[in-house]
Amino acid sequence: MPKPAYPVLFFKPITAIGGPTDIIPVPKIAQIDNETDYECELVIIIGKKGLNVSEADALDYVLGYAVGNDVSQRAWQIKKGGGQWSVGKMFDGWAPFGPAIVSSKIITNPQDLRISTRINGQTVQSENTSDQIFGVAKTIAFLSQGTTLLPGDVIFTGTPSGVGMGRKPQYWLRNGDIVEIELENVGSIVNKVVYEKDTKAKL
């Protein structure tokens, strides 16, 4: 994909949040044309209210960091969502993160951390946050222009290469897959993909 001029933004609802060992439930609507994907991401937790924050001051607004999985259903994100990325990213439990919030006093440079994804023990993503197109400070500064950031806001910052959509052949998460995402100096989250059985669901 072409390098964007600005960060690509979308919202996930609070119900998408999951814990570091919670299951990733795949609802019936996401199982049709299954293109459920993984995205290892550095996660920012905002520590104080901020509006129109400068890039130079942006890291002062960070409480700490975690690691997360921006689970994404590509068919709904790209093909069937009418251009609204959130449609393919908003399902319950599709933003697991953790395993803790590591203070920004401990991680003073978030742009030099190894990050990786393993599926069933096999490494599928392995990069460094120095490769981010938009770093933490720039992301916070951009998001806060005209939009107030609040303590407790959770910001997923983008994923490196190796996602299922970009692989040849493509790989989509399957029922029972174990997804482990690790960030240097933070730890790892381990989540099992579980297809929901809903015989009453209709589209």
121-131 tens-digit pLDDT: 999 999 999 99
3-state secondary structure of 122: strand
Please give the model's pTM, rounded to 2 decimal places.
0.93
Q: Which two tokens stand for residue 178?
A: 């174990």
Q: Please give the Cα distance from 80 to 115 (Å, whole number).
A: 30
Region for 129 from its dihedrals, namely left if φ exceeds 0, alpha if ψ lies in -120 to 50, beta otherwise: alpha
- pLDDT, tens digit, for every residue of 14-66? 999 999 999 999 999 999 888 999 999 999 999 999 999 999 999 999 999 99
Range 68-76 average pLDDT: 96
Q: In sequence order, which residues have a C-beta less than 8 Å from that of residue 75 and are 6 or more positions away? A: 32, 33, 34, 35, 88
